Chain A
Amino acid sequence: MLKVLKSGFYTTIQDTGRFGFRDKGVPISGVMDMTTVYKLNMLLENDQDAAVLEITMTGPTLEFEEDTFIVLGGAEMVVTLNNEPIKNYVVQKVSAGDILSYGRLKKGFRPYLAVKHGFQTNKVLGSRSFYPSITPNGMITDKSEIAYKKQSVFTPKLTGLKIESILEESVLQVGKGPEFNSLTDKQLENLFFKKYTVANENNRMAYQLEEKIDGHVISMLTSATLPGTVQLTPSGKLIILMKDGQTTGGYPRILQLTDTAISILAQKKAGDIIAFKLM
């Protein structure tokens, strides 16, 4: 078991998501920054779907009760293993009793902790990804325990990875959304020539942007939405749906982020600047 001494601001278990229930209104959920987690699971030679700990802004303090191997990645934080600083993207052996402790956030927003074989919490509807009302817990709490498999010996093919970090990126590649053609020339110009600030309203469901563009009076029938869908509200607000985003919506879907763009945005916090670039 992994003992959670302190849980951090918003820490959850995530895998590649809950597939097959969107027609019942269940969001896909899953890791926000898949670009990072794909690499972490590769380093540990895990299945792609192995569950990781997704941390947000402030990290937890954790005690390992069995030997295993871990790797960290995503946002850059000051992290220590038994008071010794450790680096992202380097496989670490941990022993029973070791304490992993997260400190100051340096860059990005969501650090990840991957463990050999993945975390072994119960699956609900085919996935371990936390989602309030589907999984018993919406987030990891203080003094809880998270299951993982003991592993004392492992010789990774790659012990570390030089990573082209996405943390410096601020340009989000987008495709045209289904209602792209309803945009006016002025709206288009503003969309692609202005920069946008991530608003305080940002979470696993959606990222809102502070700057608005011209609004609209388009009324449409509710239709499916996806992670990475950029919705335009009648007042001109831009809302980018993320992994826990609702499965249907009634606002025009003007842009669609690429998978990499979703990962880039997942590492942004309130006040960070982004721009859209049409593919």
Chain B
Amino acid sequence: MIEAENISVAFGEAEALRRVSLSLRPGERLGLVGESGSGKSMLGLALMGMLPEAAQMTGRLAIDGHDLSRATDNEWRDMRARKVAMIFQEPMMALNPLRRVGDTVMEPLRLHLGLSKSDARRRALELFEETGIQEPEEKLRQYPHELSGGQRQRVLIALALACDPGILIADEPTTALDAHVALRITDLLTRLARDRGMVLVFISHDLAAVARTVETVAVMYGGEIVEKGPVAQVLSDPRHPYTKGLLHARPTITGGELRKRLPMIPGNVPALADLPHGCRFSGRCSVELPQCAEVRPALLGIGGLRACACHHVPEVVE
């Protein structure tokens, strides 16, 4: 469904993404985790053809067999209308406050699928039901401000599903929601991907939400994927020093041990322009070798479905 090979995105000298490769088959659920500046949102935008104008992208990107490496705006628009959809963190910002949400969802159905008004309405109602919106008939007639945050996010998911996309990219879709609402939205996304055979790219800083939602996780740092694999394996047995640091720095409830100081990753995430040339994590890594700052470690297979980009973790060829 998605084939991305050595995707790099640069703003002048600053590299926001460096040689990222991905391959996703229908129905696969991938989580992109990382802190701000890790490139996770930039990768999401690259997969949507929505990079800022100043960005220069290199590498090969194909969706559903179509090579999009040099696609024009029009080709991308067509792709976004039918194959790739995206939802964002703040559902209020993404909805027109002056339009009934039913009309918003009916628009792409009429425009892209050419449905009649009554057919579009019927389809919108089905989408509302599929995304678990209570009293869907009534909700079609309501305005965004009349809905709760969770309901608005469901409306946006319904809108994203309107043209039956093969790929849904969700950028921090639960971050602005309360805990119990967020749990239901991640359940919904998981179910939709499974039932529809749709690729789900779930972008989040929240490891707990990612662990609940996806099968495969890619940990990003400084514009690169530093570790990748089945989510339970990566999070229970992290191999890359950054993944380890991230997991340890996370407060946990288990064990009943209170008021314990958290292991820290020293320093801050460097600005894009100040990223080290070799391993992006060098300078903050506790097990750094002399070559780390200069030589970029490649993302290599380390057994099973796992991969890691660290000079300490040897390649395993099976």
A and B together in one complex: no
- Chain A positions within 8 Å of B, measured between CB atoms, are none
